[in-house]
Amino acid sequence: MDKNIYKFIFKHTKGQQIYILLVTICSMPFYYASLDIPKLIINSALKVDDPAIQGDEFPRPLTILGIEIMDVSQLTLLGSLCVIFLFLVLVNGGFKMYINIYKGRMGERMLRRLRYLLYSRILRFPLSHFRKVSQGELIPMITAEVEPLGGFIGDAFAVPALQGGLLMTAIFYIFSQDPLMGIASILLYPIQGYIIPKLQKKVNLLGKARVREVRKLSEKIGESVSGIQEIHANDTAQYELADFSQRLGTIFNIRFQIYNKKFFIKFLNNLLAQLTPFFFFSIGGYLVIQGEISLGSLVAVLAAYKDLSPPWKELLTYYQIQADSRIKYDQVISQFEPQGLMDEGKQYSDADEFESFEGEVAAANLSLQDEDQVTIVNGVNFKFPVSDHVAVVGSSGSGKEELMLMLARLIEPTGGKLNTGGSDLAEMPEAVTGRRISFVGQNSYIFSSSLKDNLLYGLKHRPNGLEDDSGSADHAAEESVPEEKKRKKKEKFGKVDLAGASDGTESPSSRRHFLAEAARAGNSVHDIFVDWVDYNSAGVGSTNSVVAAALKSIEIADMAEDVYQYGMRGSLNPAASGEAAGRILKARTALMARLQEPAYADLVEPFDRATYNMNATLAENLIFGNPVGDAFDIEKLAENSYVLEVLKKADLIEDLLSCGHQLTATMIELFADLPPDHELFQRFSFISADELPEYQVLVTHTDKEKLDELGDEDRTRLMSLPFKLIPARHRLGLIDEAMQVKILEARRIFHEDLPEDLQNSVEMFDHEKYNSSATLQDNILFGKVAYGQAQAAEKIGELVAEVVDVQDLRATVMEVGLDYQAGIAGSRLSATQRQKLAIARAVMKRPEVIVLSEATVILEAAAQARILDNVLQEFSAQGVVWSLHRASDAERFAHVLVMKNGRVVENGSFNDVNQDGSAFRELMENE
């Protein structure tokens, strides 16, 4: 990267800087004219007896810029001058706006370029560097610290050129009036030019210190957030606060020093600026008295001097800003040039011409030292066929972990060579290592997207369609992606309201503009919204078979059951084939039949249009469908005007009010003397602890017989409660048979009268239709699991699984499960699920060699064994290098490397190394 901000700016914006300078120069005459017109208005249009103007009678000629246009009367003259003035104001404003926008765009583009460069460098940092820099440091550098540079970049050349020009003109004018005066006017500049940079240098140093300290501060905050559990667990909040206070104090002192120096510089500048007129009056006055210059000249020089100081001030301000920007730039850049930064070509070049790995993996004197020159891997030699199954065993700290990282080319050796298929692994582009080798460590990272996206992550190397002509590339790719997929991808980006700004997704043409702009800022022009999945490398032809491959990987990673469960809780993609929905309906019918068996009697109460479902809420019984959107949200049902209308027609209002009243009384009886934060409140009460007192007042002050007279708000309050009542669960007996009949009537009215605009707000339960807003589980069940039946949920779960298998729906369900969102850093998955998903991701890529570094250590023993078997079987023809935490598992591998203290101490088949007294035997015995 360019070490100096000016080099960086000049390299990328040369032409634009010159252009902006030219435009600025072009704008000057208009600017001067606009300053001149007011004088002209006063002097020629208003002043009648000016001897300078020929003849003091109107009509007189209108003179602009020395050109006589025509004879005009006084009023016409005033009018035309004013019109000209207005015109010039508009022109000047236009110029200013154009220049500012142009500069702004240039600055923003450069900011974008800089940020992009910095981020691209993070992606090329050697892994070891991340032990030295924290997120807390890197994030503010790219986000906040470089932000002000954008503004400076626009001004970098234009301001000094323009203001310098103005300054020179004014100085020249003064000199032309009188050389002595000229000298007087610039007498103090050398002094300022000497002292101010000296002071500024100190400010710069302080500025650097400030940036460093603030960076440490953000690192500290990041650390506290990550370690928040430890802080609470150890009562160290006071300690952390004192630490933070110390840092803030340091920053305060630095900033205060900066202010001291800054304002001293300002004071000095003002003082020197005021001193110059002192020279004018003293020297100039003397000269006038001596008769050497005329009073008129002195006045003119003084006026010129007034024009001299604004550009000078501008220049000084500019000087301070550029000093500040230079520090910021230097400080940021220096953090992005770590030793061992990956060569750009390695990450960017493609793998096209590269032969597949064939032959051997061979290490020759392979060594690794860490930053402190401690030897971790010490001159290791070994050789095995690429497609071999190799177990690496050794105690922790034996260097096996690092060896695995080197085999996956995640770290590079500091000595020796590691060849794969005859070529040096260190020389290969990432396009080769990243596609043909899979790596799974102990703590794999899961991205915040769906399980499927995480599985496909290993296949997103380059956008599809790059082989086409570059001109039509984006277009071709655009069409090859199904709309649905594009929409989903856009959602990922477009969640924030852009307030009218474009994210380039509105139309194909806006997309092209968007990417063209990216090119202008030197950013990636690969379109994120096209399909990136490398289907060839996954060994599948299309989007459909990729799902099958994904499911197979899930199976291998022993995660099928989890995905099945997620699928049951998910719902079919509405755009998906009706065929799957059809099979779900068949499963529903099949389940219904099975439920007739005595063993399952009474476990499920199916939805039936004509009966009240005792295991469903009142709301479900009334609407008899799934709410879509917010219109029929159960929390707000009592406020919904349509629902109220229906209830009124069914004569239910009074029932609900009295039901709500009784329910409130019961809740108060049960919960009133529990502490408000008691767990039972949350789990069982219809009324939250905060609201209970209000309800208490409401109930005690209301006569049960006079509920009709309540105000709207209180009525809503009471009526909203019973909607959540489930007779079988709550056993309160508040919904008697008469009321059930009325609710069934209300259900009928609700459906018959449903207005057009609400049709889409509810999806009815219909036993012949798939309900797209319900989960798969609910769709198959089409009813409610009965309360009060022991182990009902388990029994039903097994039964549903049977039916799903019979209908051949398991893959469909699991496909839905793949859409489950993993959460931030996979937080919605358990640690074991994350690890399994990472293994599945590595398998999905179908690498030539899969490298696993104690990848299953956190899993339970049975799962470990299953995954080991599955992976070895799946990769029977490809390479597997597995660093095992249990030496006994090595029996299943063709080749065993035993590591100890950074060396390979034993090397051979399981029987070779499993000898009495061998290091391997020792490891086995220590298990």
Partner 1 sequence: MATDLQQDVDLLRNVPLFRNLDAAKLKLLAFTSERLTYSAGDNLFLQGDSGDSAYVIVEGEADIIIDTPGGPITVATVKQNDWVGEIAILCDVPRTATITAKSKLTTLRISKDVFFQLIMQFPQMSVEVMRELAFRLERTNRQLQEAVGKLKEAGAA
Is residue 463 within 8 A of residue 477, CB to CB? The reply is yes
733 is a site residue for partner 1 (CB under 8 A): yes
Cα–Cα distance measured from residue 594 to residue 815, given in angstroms and rounded to the nearest whole number: 25
The nearest distance, CB 599 to partner 1, in angstroms, is: 9
Cα–Cα distance measured from residue 603 to residue 799, given in angstroms and rounded to the nearest whole number: 11
Tokens of 80: 């035309």
| Binder among 32, 130, 263, 684 for partner 1 (CB under 8 A) | 684
Strand, helix or coil for residue 626? strand
Residue type, 903: R
123 is a site residue for partner 1 (CB under 8 A): no
Binding region for partner 1 (CB under 8 A) out of 300-308, 728-736, 822-830, 847-855: 728-736
Q: Which is nearer to partner 1, 334 or 830 (CB)?
A: 830
The position carrying tokens 């549903």 is 800
The nearest distance, CB 791 to partner 1, in angstroms, is: 7
176 is a site residue for partner 1 (CB under 8 A): no
The nearest distance, CB 788 to partner 1, in angstroms, is: 5
Q: Which is nearer to partner 1, 78 or 732 (CB)?
A: 732
- Strand 879-883 vs strand 389-393: parallel, antiparallel, or unpaired? parallel
Cα–Cα distance measured from residue 544 to residue 533, given in angstroms and rounded to the nearest whole number: 12
The position carrying tokens 């209830």 is 647
The position carrying tokens 């750009």 is 344
Q: Which is nearer to partner 1, 557 or 735 (CB)?
A: 735
Q: Which is nearer to partner 1, 85 or 787 (CB)?
A: 787
Is residue 625 within 8 A of residue 765, CB to CB? The reply is yes
Binding region for partner 1 (CB under 8 A) out of 245-253, 551-559, 616-624, 730-738: 730-738
Tokens of 159: 């301001």
Q: Is 895 exposed, middle or buried (0-12, 13-18, 19+ CB in 10 A)?
A: buried
730 is a site residue for partner 1 (CB under 8 A): yes
Closest to 372 in 3D by CA, of 334, 418, 414: 414
731 is a site residue for partner 1 (CB under 8 A): yes
Is residue 60 within 8 A of residue 53, CB to CB? The reply is yes
The nearest distance, CB 673 to partner 1, in angstroms, is: 8
Tokens of 395: 């105690």
Applying CB under 8 A, the site for partner 1 has a residue count of: 22
Q: Which is nearer to partner 1, 120 or 685 (CB)?
A: 685
Identify residues 664-683 at the interface with partner 1 (CB under 8 A): 666, 669-671, 673-674, 678-680, 683
Q: Which is nearer to partner 1, 792 or 905 (CB)?
A: 792
Tokens of 38: 């007011």
794 is a site residue for partner 1 (CB under 8 A): no
267 is a site residue for partner 1 (CB under 8 A): no
732 is a site residue for partner 1 (CB under 8 A): yes
Sheet holding 415-420, edge to edge: 375-385, 360-369, 415-420, 423-424
704 is a site residue for partner 1 (CB under 8 A): no
Q: Which is nearer to partner 1, 495 or 683 (CB)?
A: 683
Is residue 607 within 8 A of residue 765, CB to CB? The reply is yes
Identify residues 773-792 at the interface with partner 1 (CB under 8 A): 787-791
Q: Which is nearer to partner 1, 680 or 831 (CB)?
A: 680
DSSP state of 857: T
Tokens of 839: 């293994």
The nearest distance, CB 690 to partner 1, in angstroms, is: 19
Stated length of the chain: 927
Strands (E), 396-529: 415-420, 423-424, 437-440
Q: Which is nearer to partner 1, 275 or 680 (CB)?
A: 680
Identify residues 525-564 at the interface with partner 1 (CB under 8 A): none
Identify residues 614-673 at the interface with partner 1 (CB under 8 A): 666, 669-671, 673
Q: Which is nearer to partner 1, 696 or 789 (CB)?
A: 789
The nearest distance, CB 867 to partner 1, in angstroms, is: 27
The nearest distance, CB 728 to partner 1, in angstroms, is: 9
Is residue 563 within 8 A of residue 556, CB to CB? The reply is no
The nearest distance, CB 789 to partner 1, in angstroms, is: 6
Tokens of 795: 């029994």
Q: Which is nearer to partner 1, 602 or 805 (CB)?
A: 602
Which residues lie across from 375 on neighbouring strands? 369
Residues making contact with partner 1 (CB under 8 A): 666, 669-671, 673-674, 678-680, 683-684, 730-734, 736, 787-791
